[in-house]
Amino acid sequence: MEKTNHVNSCDSRVHAYKNGKTMEQCKVEARENTRVLSKELLENGEVSWTRVLDTAGHDELVYKLTLKYLRQQAYDIGNNKIPRVKPNTGL
């Protein structure tokens, strides 16, 4: 029996995701997070990676997918020295 620390986590290493979530459910959750964060970005101009992680419920897969979808929407997702997301002004 596997012991989990996070109640609603997705594990990208196996087909049976934690708590019965499928990869598609993780993608749907990440897309919803992207929609929510896009609104915050319009209002505030930027959001921290910590905020993205909180929105993802500290689920690594959902967090990474959320950042991926934000990047696909042309947001600057920063880097390890600048851990924030903001609208890309270099386009």
**Domains (ranges, CATH) in the chain?**
21-87 (1.10.10)
Burial 18-37 (b: 16+ CB within 10 A, else e): beebeeeebbebbeebbeeb
Tell me which DSSP letter residue 59 carries.
-
Instruction: Please report the pLDDT score of residue 82 as a whole number.
Output: 94
Would you say residue 13 has pLDDT above 80? Answer: no
Instruction: Say if pTM beats, i.e. exceeds, 0.75.
Output: yes
Strands (E) in 9-82, as ranges, are: 47-48, 75-76
Strands (E) in the chain, as ranges, are: 47-48, 75-76, 84-87
Q: What percentage of the chain carries pLDDT values higher than 70?
A: 76
pLDDT digits (tens, 9 = 90+) for 58-86: 888 899 999 999 999 999 999 999 999 99
Q: How confident is the model at residue 7 (pLDDT cuts 50, 70, 90)?
A: low
Instruction: Please report the pLDDT score of residue 1 as a whole number.
Output: 45
